[in-house]
Amino acid sequence: MTALLDSRTYAPSSPDTATRLRVVDPGPLTTLQDAGRAGLAHLGIGGCGPADRAAAALANRLVGNPEGAPLLENVMGGLTVATSSPRYVSVTGAPAEVRVDGSIVAEPQRLYLHAGQRLSIARPPWGVRVYVAIAGGLAGRQVFGSCSTDSLSGLGPPALRTGDELQVGAVVSDPPSARLELTGTALPTGVIDLGFRWGPRDSLFSTADMRTLTSTTWSVGADSNRVGVRLTGPALSIGVVNLPSEGMPLGAIQVPPSGQPIVFLADHPVTGGYPVIGVVTEPDLDLLAQAPPGARVSFSAMAGG
């Protein structure tokens, strides 16, 4: 059944009632994401938003949208969409083959999609998340000021299904005439080195465990998701720890009883009772959000951290 997602409060412009983006095939998982729900942790509400914030912001800039405008976050390709009116669209994030009506697009970062044409994204050869933005921005039902889908709490619209239609805003600015600088957007295919700062509970760990964290090449587990990336390697020993629940920031490296670190991503819980040995910097979290199962990860402590 076709479902039109409700548009109430997101308004980069007045909604263009004649334009819809139709989901022909959502692939394994496609959600709507915007800038998220910042500043609500005291209410138990997580930040959410794109897992790879840099890629999402670039996608919106490429079509003239505000950086936080709602767009699609697709996991592992398989997505096919069509628009009812001609629009610029952009594709960023994991480098995937893009086709329009079956023909390969040589430079898919920004393209002009005619009414009824189908944009299809293949499975990326490396990387996890692909972002699709459309000029004018998408519209969705807002919960606590955001239409982002939060996989942990269930807030926001559900994951997209075949036949869903999303309302598109009216275009208020043309895409940048100058080619945007795309250097630095390539994803590493070797070991992903994550900068982090120690704390707040690093004092609970031995010197040997701290050395293990930074000297080990960790592997990304298959059970990683938007909540967090689970790493496998030599177990850290935290012993018996009785901590009251405390705030969990984006990028927290939490060590549960298994001793296998978890790095929290966009849909992370706002509190937790296991110790956090360090916090990964936000730019490096974008890289981690693109790490597929089996990818290798290392940690580098930042000066002064």
Q: What's the pLDDT tens digit per position in 263-280?
A: 999 999 999 999 999 999
Is the confidence at residue 69, as pLDDT, over 70? yes
Residue among 302, 255, 301, 265 at smallest CA distance from 285: 265
Q: What's the pLDDT tens digit per position in 151-177?
A: 998 898 999 999 999 999 888 777 876
Measured between alpha carbons, how far is residue 194 from residues 2, 68, 273, 277, 299 in Å? 42, 25, 24, 14, 5
In this prediction, residue 304 carries a pLDDT of 66
Please name the helix (run of DSSP H) or strand (run of DSSP E) that holds residue 60, with its range, or none: helix 53-62
Is the confidence at residue 185, as pLDDT, over 70? no
Q: Which amino acid is at 250?
A: L
> Which domains does the chain show, CATH number per domain?
15-169 (no CATH), 192-301 (2.40.100.10)
- For residue 301, give every residue at least 6 positions away whose Cβ sits within 8 Å of its Cβ, in sequence order, or none: 196, 197, 198, 214, 278
In this prediction, residue 173 carries a pLDDT of 72
Q: What confidence tier does 305 reach under pLDDT thresholds 50, 70, 90?
A: low
For residue 120, report the phi and psi dihedrals to the nearest 5 degrees: -125, 140
Supply the mean pLDDT for the chain: 89
Helix 282-289 to helix 53-62 angle (10° resolution) is 90
* Mode of pairing for the β-strands spanning 98-100 and 103-104: antiparallel
Is the confidence at residue 37, as pLDDT, over 70? yes
Distance CA 158, CA 150 (A): 9
Is the confidence at residue 182, as pLDDT, over 90? no
User: Which residues is 230 bridged to in the sheet?
Assistant: 262
Q: Are 266 and 50 in contact (CB under 8 A)?
A: yes
How crowded is the C-beta side of 232, counted as CA atoms within 13 Å? 9
Whether pTM > 0.85 for this model: the answer is yes
Number of C-beta neighbours around residue 196 at 10 A: 23
Distance CA 43, CA 146 (A): 15
In this prediction, residue 26 carries a pLDDT of 98
- For residue 177, give every residue at least 6 positions away whose Cβ sits within 8 Å of its Cβ, in sequence order, or none: none
In this prediction, residue 262 carries a pLDDT of 98
In this prediction, residue 181 carries a pLDDT of 53
Is the confidence at residue 18, as pLDDT, over 90? no
What average pLDDT score do residues 31-53 get?
90
* Mode of pairing for the β-strands spanning 165-169 and 15-26: antiparallel
Number of C-beta neighbours around residue 279 at 10 A: 22
In this prediction, residue 7 carries a pLDDT of 32
Distance CA 9, CA 135 (A): 18
What average pLDDT score do residues 79-102 get?
96
Residue among 12, 4, 140, 27 at smallest CA distance from 84: 4
